[in-house]
Amino acid sequence: MAFAGHLNSRQGARFVRKMVALIFSVAATFLGLLLITFLIGRVVPIDPVLATVGDRASAEVYERARIELGLHLPLYQQFWIYITQVFHGDLGHSVLTANPVTTDILRVFPATLELATVATFLGVLLGVPLGVIAAVYKGRWPDQVLRLVGLFGYSVPVFWLGLVGLLLFYGKLGWAPGPGRLDVFYDGLIDPVTGVLLIDAAMAGEWQIFENAFAHLILPATILGYFSLAYISRMTRSFMLEQLSQEYIVTARVKGLSSWRVIWVHALGNVWVPLVTVIALSYGNLLEGSVLTETVFAWPGLGFYLTRSLLSADMNAVLGGTLVVGSVFIGINLLSDALYQFLDPRARRR
């Protein structure tokens, strides 16, 4: 009993130490992120004072604005002010929309979330079984086909695939609705509660709108999902190959289990743990891929907001968006680490 208690407290100490190290590393990464966005904001050739007061302002007005913006302070103090503002959720005002950047981002983010989530869902739903099949038929035609699917995914520009998709399924075949999130007819008919149109429409019981939103979603989500499929299936394949060469698989086969059960229950069961990390990473990558996809499909999400702000040199909005995407990225990495610890008992013990 005493022995067990001793062990537990040692494990506890190790856990605490690990957590502290993790928190420290996340904090350092986040600080680095802040430093980068801060420095980018400082090297811009656009004079932020001129941008606020206009180029006809007198020298006094200019000077007053400069002091108001805190630009007369030394850099490290400005950085401190920047950090404080960010932690208060203040990312400055967008020149383009005249709203606080935080409000803007909160408004557009659900659209990106919806797109990336559905795309990841598609990628996992198809990518995992495909990867398993490729591993089982290693070197034969299913494996070769999947290899081609992967090569295509790694080589094709996502925005071009989006355009070709629009051309084929919207322009030529008429199967998909055009760009955007909803037909103009339905625009603004339901209150944004969560901002995720599918959920909002379903909650309001507006099934027509739900259908329309879903139809608009399917093409961009499939195209984004294809890239996540390419990545997830390739990783599933290599994890599965590793498992299938293990002795417990031989044992299971010798015991007379059906090969279906051995592959899909025994081997795949052990693949899920590393796969979680891969899925999380691909989710993060989709947030990035959505910048280009959203531009192609005029999808009013964060990526679209970011590129539109970029073109009008709206620095606060650009840096705010960068910061948010970077933070989500860090958060996803952290989450996948934690899930890994949670799912794999070996990782906990080490």
Partner 1 sequence: MQENNQITENKETPKESLHAWLLSSTPGSRRQARWGRAYIAWLNFTENRLAVIGLAIIGSLLLLSVLAPVLAPYAPNVPDLTQRLEPMSSRHWFGTDELGRDILSRIIYGSRLTLYVVVLVAIIAAPVGLLVGTVSGYLGGVVDGVLMRITDIFLAFPKLILALAFVSALGPGIENAIFAIAITSWPPYARIARAETITVRNEDFIAAARLQGAGPIRLISGHVVPLCMSSLVIRVTLDMAGIILTAAGLGFLGLGAQPPLPEWGAMISSGRKFLLDQWWVATMPGIAIFIVSLGFNLLGDGLRDVLDPKTEGK
Q: Which of 118, 135, 158, 219 binds partner 1 (CB under 8 A)?
A: 158
Least distance from partner 1 to the Cβ atom of residue 113, Å:
15
Please state, in angstroms and rounded to a whole number, the distance separating the CA atoms of residues 278 and 276.
5
Asked whether position 78 contacts partner 1 by CB under 8 A, the answer is no
Q: Is the dihedral of CA 241, 246, 251, 254 positive or negative?
A: positive
C-alpha separations of 89 from 84, 92, 103, 137, 309 in Å: 9, 9, 10, 52, 19
Q: Give me the helix-helix angle, 302-311 and 101-136, nearest 10°.
A: 120
C-alpha separations of 335 from 115, 280, 330 in Å: 20, 8, 9
Please, which residues bridge with residue 93 across strands? 100
Q: Which of 166, 244, 275, 276 binds partner 1 (CB under 8 A)?
A: 166
Asked whether position 220 contacts partner 1 by CB under 8 A, the answer is no
Asked whether position 154 contacts partner 1 by CB under 8 A, the answer is yes
Q: Which of 124, 292, 294, 300 binds partner 1 (CB under 8 A)?
A: 292
Q: Which of 97, 103, 270, 333 binds partner 1 (CB under 8 A)?
A: 333
Least distance from partner 1 to the Cβ atom of residue 300, Å:
16
C-alpha separations of 67 from 37, 57, 58 in Å: 21, 15, 14
Q: Which of 215, 313, 335, 343 binds partner 1 (CB under 8 A)?
A: 313
The residue type at 45: P
Task: Give the footprint of partner 1 on this chain (CB under 8 A).
Answer: 25, 28-29, 32-33, 36-37, 40-41, 43-45, 151-152, 154-160, 163-164, 166-167, 170-171, 284-285, 287-288, 291-292, 295-296, 306-307, 310-311, 313, 315, 318-319, 321-322, 325-326, 329-330, 333
